[in-house]
Each structure stands twice: as structure tokens, then as C-alpha cells.
Structure 1
Amino acid sequence: MSECQDDDARSHLPLVDRTGQILHLADFNPTQPARILNDLRAYWDSLRRGRAVPARSDIQPQGIRRALDYAFILERIAPGAARFRLAGQHLIDLMGMEVRGMAFCSLANGSSRGRLSDVLESVFRAPQLAQMTLHAKAEYARPELSARMLLLPLTSDLGDVTRALGCIIAEGQIGVAPRRFDLIGDEVMPILEGGKTLAPSPSAFDQDRLSGGRQGTPIRPIASMDRPEKRDASAEARRAGFRVITLPQATLPTGTTKTP
């Protein structure tokens, strides 16, 4: 009995190499960014069930327990623009506030928002997956931060790709919030291995505007919209454009006389 207890106790001790250094197994680190991102993508893949993109309604919190604090849901509201519908505690800590309803681009510094929007739009339009590398510079009371983010497309109840499951993991001390990042690297990936990807580009915005978005009537360029012709500023030209309108005379009842 005692030998069994000793074996059981030794099985729970950390591994020690010949130099006496304690070795930690990466598999037992629940906050390892790569593991969490891989788990979220595997969960997303499991929901497809033969479809190109799973539905927003398929996402269940118990299915992403490990990534729940780092996950968020986006809703596309315009070309290259989305807002947070739900967000985990990690993102709330990074921004120092509740982010529900906030714009997705609020995560980035101004110089990176254009590229961030391009990558986001390509996720919805292709659709495809995107992984980004983010960095926040060290400032007063704000240590340097590195982060990784993953975006996975989802369909809405109407069947269009206007939702996304995301995950962001920052490594380091957050410091004083809000923390905003520079986008220093991005990669788009096809849904099916070997498939084609759509390169993030600002041209997608013009194409979406001219086609009226993903649905709807085409939007005409501003230059072709009906506008009143520019008139001559002279008084004669203005008078020439006036018309005299004669109002019909009211008919008086029979037997009545009109008084001056």
C-alpha cells in the first residue's frame, strides 16, 4: 500500500533533468496562446459539418471553455467595419471597459486601422480565416505587450457571412488600460486546405459600395447622382427661370354675390 502511495506521489512531481532543472510540460500550460488558438479553430472546424462556414447560433460557451476568456463575437455593420457583440474578460481588461457595441478597430492605433479593416473585410467577403500579430509599445505605466488574434467567419440567422468568432491573447502585464496595438503582421488562410484566399485590399470597399453591399440595390457614384444644374448668378437669368402660376378661381354658390 505504501509503495503504491509513493508511486502515485512521484507521478505528480515535476520532471527533473540530470542537472536538477525542473521541466514544465507545455501541454499543462492552459494559457499558452498557440494552444488556445488551435483549440478555438478546431472547435470552429467541428461546427462546420460539411458546410463552408458554421452559424453564429452554433457557438456554445461550453464548447470553448479554455478560450472563453479570450474569445469575442463580431457583427459586420459596413464594409471593413464591425462591432463587438460579446467579449471575454481578457479583452475587457485590455480596454479597461465593457466593449460590447464598440467598434472592432478601437483595438488598434490609428496607423494600423486601415490594414485591420482590410483584413477584417477579407474574412467576411472570401470568406476565409485570418491570424494577426499585434504589438503595443511600452509607455508610462504601460509595459510592452505582444498579442495574437484569430478571426473565424460565421453566418447570421439570414445565412450571410456577417458574423465572426474571434480570439485575442496578449502576453505580458496590461498596465493602465486601454491598450491599443499596432498591426505588425497578418496572414489569411483558406477554409479548406489548398483553397484560394482573397488578399486584403482597400479595393474591396469600392467594389462593395458600387454593388450596394452584399445585398441590396447598386449605389451610384456621387458624381452621377442627380443634382440641380448650376445657375447663372445674374438677375436676368434668375428672372428668366420664373413662371407665373394662375390659381383657379373659386366657384361661388348660386344666388350669392361677391363683395368688394
Structure 2
Amino acid sequence: MKQDGSIALFQYWNRLRNGRPAPRRTEIEPADIKTLLADTFILEKDTRGEAVFRLAGTRLCATYGRELKGYSFPLIWHQRDQRIIARQAHGTFHDKSVVVVTYEGLSQGGKSNFFEMVLLPLEGGVGSPRLLGAITPFSKPYWLGADPIAEGKIETLRLVDADREPLFLANRVPSMVPSSSHIINDGLDVGEGGRRIRHLVVFEGGKGG
């Protein structure tokens, strides 16, 4: 994680879970993260098992030029990445995996900007899994919020060991826009259950999978 919004939400989530795989969704207090709410969202599963937005912050909705509540999460992504991102959401829902994605957001007018997204599991019971997330832009060009982002193209995708990440964050380097597509897998190699899709190495499920 490189963006301050992602880091702050992760640290809040990490304090709440207090060593558990995930905090309960009822433990999330909006007042505690009021400075982050505009870029924060909650996903849930609909009756078809698809990840949809249950809640989305005002700045995030402005970035995409629509009210995201009830909207399909995979549909904000480029078609080539929709299955990948759906599987990562499923892993966060059910395997309590923490996922960090950097992506290029392409606007309706042909502009682009890089973003970082973090997906954090919440304990909500088998019948109603949910996750907490945030999307933070690497920069804030003048057009962001006026020219809606139409789709995202994954640049990097990383599964995070939530018990080790605080150590990495303590020594993080300044944020930089990714210069090329790659995968960071937190020390795992492709032979440990990973599979390569185009420029990505995808690991199914959570930390154990």
C-alpha cells in the first residue's frame, strides 16, 4: 500500500480486528473514519452471488459519474479484468483475504489516471458476507469528478499478509505511479498455486490458497 487513504483504512481495520481474521461489520464506526468516507465503499453479495456496492462515498460516486449503491462491482472494470476482480472480491468475502490493486482508470473522454484500491474483509456471517474498501487516486487532475471514469485496467494485484503488512508500512517509500504492469505477491512464487493471465499472476482464494 502506498496511498495515504489505503493505509489509514487498513490501519483502522487492523486495530479493530485485533488479531482476528476480520472485524465484525457492526464494529465499523463511520465517525472514526470520517476523513476517509468520501473514498470508501462497502460491498455485499446480491441474490446471484455477485459483488455489488452496498454503500459508496460521495467522491467515489463523483469519480464514476453515477450513484454506485446497488451497482455491480465487476462492471466498473475493463472486460478483460472482470473475472479476476470478481474472484478477488469472493476471496475477501469468504477467505478473509486482503487485496491491494493499482489500476489505470480510463475516463469517458479518453483521459486516464492511476488509482489504488484496498479490499478488507468484514465478519458478517455466512449468509451476508461484506467487505470494506477504499479507492484513492494517485493524483487529482482538474478533470477528475467531471469526466467520469468508465473502466479500470488492473496494473498490479497483491494479496497482503495482514499480520506482516504493518511492518512494511512502517518503512514505506513515497508514492509513485506504476510504470509497468506487474504482480506483487508478497513473497509467494507462481509455483505455489498461482497462474499467469496476461501480465498478471493470480492466486485463488485467501492467504492459504
TM-score (norm 2): 0.70
Q: Are 1:167 and 2:138 matched, yes or no?
A: no
Distance 1:130 1:66 in 2: 22
Superposition deviation, residue 112 in structure 1: 1.3
- Partner of residue 45 from structure 1, selected from 7, 10, 14: 14
Which of 102, 116, 125 is 1:148 aligned to? 116
In structure 2, what is the Cα distance between the partners aligned to 1:60 and 1:159? 22
Counterpart of 2:94?
A: 125
Q: Which of 167, 187, 191 is the equivalent residue of 2:158? A: 187
Deviates more, 1:159-168 or 1:86-95: 159-168
Contact residue 80 and residue 117 of structure 1 kept, 8 A: no
Q: Is the 8 A contact 2:107 2:148 kept in 1?
A: no
Q: Is the partner of 2:26 in helix, strand or coil? A: helix
Between stretches 190-199 and 102-111, larger displacement belongs to 190-199
Q: How far did 1:144 drift?
A: 1.5
- Out of 72, 88, 113, the residue aligned to residue 82 of structure 2 is 113
Aligned-residue CA RMSD in angstroms? 2.9
Supply the distance in 2 between the matched residues of 1:47 and 1:160 (Cα, whole angstroms).
22
Deviations 1:72-130 (A, max 9, x none): 01113379731111110121012211111111112101111111112222222321100
Compared CA separation, residues 68 and 153, structure 1 to 2 (3 A): same
With over 3 angstroms needed to count, the CA separation of the structure-2 counterparts of 1:52 and 1:160, relative to structure 1, is farther
SS at 2:96's partner residue?
coil
> Where does residue 177 of structure 2 map in the other structure?
none
SS of 2:155 mapped into structure 1:
strand
Residues 98 and 138 (structure 1), Cα distance of their counterparts in 2 relative to 1, 3 Å cut? closer
Between 90-99 and 77-86, the greater mean CA deviation after superposition: 77-86
Larger RCO (CA within 8 A; separation ≥ 6): 2
Larger radius of gyration: 1
CA distance, structure 2, for counterparts of residue 68 and residue 130 of structure 1: 19
Distance 1:91 1:152 in 2: 17
> When you count strand as a share of all residues, which structure comes out higher?
2
What TM-score results when the alignment is normalised by the length of structure 1? 0.57
Q: Where does structure 1 lack aligned partners over 5 or more consecutive residues?
A: 1-32, 205-260
